[in-house]
Amino acid sequence: MDLNDENKAHLQWSDNPQTLTDLLNENTLPIVAKVYTETLPAESGNPGSFDIYQPLLIYKEITGKKVYAKIVQDDVLLSANRHEDDGHIIVVPTSYKGWFRLADDEDKPLTSIANIARIMPLKFLSSKLVSGYVYIREQGKSECFHHKVEIQPGVFYVKNIYEDFVRYTQGKIIKRKLLRCLECYLDDETEVLLPFDSQGLFYLIEVKPSTSKHVNIDNVAFVYNISDMITAGLTTDVVIQLVHGRPPKKSCGFTSKIKVCDLIKDKTIVACTLNKEKRLLELPLSPYPLFVKAHNDTELLISNQVFSQAVLYMEMVADNYANEMKVRYNYAVNNNTNKTEEVIVEEEEEEEEEDVKPETEVDAKYNGFETASRDNTFGSADDVFEDESLDTEIETTKL
């Protein structure tokens, strides 16, 4: 359902404009509010443009650290350890579910499960599809089989070495084969077997303290989540590369490499519009703009279908949205205070880049993020290796 004129007529607005911080201190979320019309100058509306004055469901407060970084463009004319950035700002919350590597480190991923088995890490990342067998217990069947599949890129938790006959289905055919595999499980606890001869691109995440000294892992590529990087001392001007994770949705020339320009801890509000095509927003707790609250929002959030459906929608998507990587425009760092200008966060496609001018208090009201929500991940599924032969020995190639 849409927020039509009839539903808007039910809203009774306060005549007391307040900052978001004041609204939070005086009310329990969720609430319905909108930007106070005298806070910002009127704009000539373009068809399809975002209406900043429309009613919003102010849903949830988010507190956490974020990395602000610039997209890096490699230049073949530059030396290997130098990069150029293109000015676009990427915001990565510490809760972002992606894996990075230090861009200036030599990229030496392992290329076979056999080499992973030599190290037996606690967990590792596969950045491409990898051939394996998934154990599925089907209801109503007394026998259980493995299914031969291409397993999606992601994190694998190492359990043990498995060497035995595997009964598996391939289409409607049941096969039996002697295999040497690495037994792992996924984030959803699905059990998988990865044959030693399976090929791909594999990065270590965590190894056992008791890893054999005879296994040299010094030159093997590791990946880290953004939270671990911050804990380890991530600083400004460091270039990191996204190996696996959802890139920003909005077109921004994302290359997978970003240069850290700021680390901040802030509080923001996740909100959404109340129209049929709901847009998610992330609003900073800043002095501008001012908002007015609907007096009767508590009643409407319960009894009116438009408002109650918006609450149900936010219950499903708000946390995931807050954890996404986003694009932000017109961002500037104050080098003296190491603080960022606080701006409105909204999902609005920019048609063309504008010159960035020094911000005034009014200018700061119009700056914003763009949302990220994307199903594909970095790392292609090309060059997947399949081989039905059995390796009887672990590869001994030097890493």
CA distance 308 to 302: 6
**Average pLDDT, integer, range 146-151:** 90
Whether residue 385 has pLDDT greater than 90: no
Strand partners, 170: 173
Q: Write phi, then psi, for 257 (nearest 5 degrees).
A: -105, 135
Alpha helices in the chain (DSSP H): 5-10, 20-26, 113-119, 226-231, 297-303, 305-322, 361-364
In a domain, 172, yes or no: yes
Lowest mean pLDDT among 132-136, 194-198, 363-367: 363-367
- The residue with greater pLDDT, 342 or 188, is 188
In a domain, 310, yes or no: no
Higher pLDDT, 82 or 390: 82
Question: Looking at the domain assignment, is residue 184 inside a domain?
Answer: yes
Q: Tell me if 151 is assigned to some domain.
A: yes
Whether residue 121 is predicted with pLDDT greater than 90 in this model: the reply is: yes
Q: What's the whole-number average pLDDT of the chain?
A: 76
Q: Label the pairing between strands 123-126 and 191-195.
A: unpaired
For residues 290 and 286, what is the distance between their CA atoms, to the nearest angstrom?
9
**Separation in Å, CA 219 to CA 108, 109, 223:** 7, 9, 13
Residue-level pLDDT at 266: 82
Q: Which residues, in sequence order, are CB contacts of 47 under 8 Å at separation 6+?
A: none
- What was the pLDDT predicted at 87? 63
Does some domain include residue 299? no
Mean pLDDT, to the nearest integer, of 93-117?
91
> 13 forms bridges with which residues in the sheet?
294
Tell me whether residue 327 is in a domain: no
Give the whole-number percent of the chain exceeding pLDDT 90.
Answer: 42
Residue 271: CB atoms within 10 Å: 27
Tell me the one-letter amino acid at 255. T
Domain assignment of residue 115, yes or no: yes
Instruction: Give rounded-to-5 percent helix, strand, coil for the chain.
Output: 15, 35, 50
DSSP, collapsed to helix, strand or coil, labels residue 335 as: coil
Backbone angles phi, psi at 156, to 5 degrees: -115, 130
Mapping DSSP to helix (H, G, I), strand (E, B) and coil, where does residue 360 land? coil
Average of per-residue pLDDT across 185-197? 94
Per the DSSP assignment, residues forming a β-bridge with 118 are none
Domain assignment of residue 379, given as a range: 108-220+368-399
Res. 377: pLDDT tops 90: no
Residues 203, 378: Cα–Cα separation, whole Å:
14
Please give the tally of structural domains in the chain.
Answer: 1
Band of pLDDT at residue 198, cut at 50, 70 and 90: very high
pLDDT at 365 over 80: no
Dump strand ranges (E) for 249-316: 257-273, 280-284, 291-293
Distance CA 366, CA 359 (A): 10
**Assigned domain for 132 exists:** yes
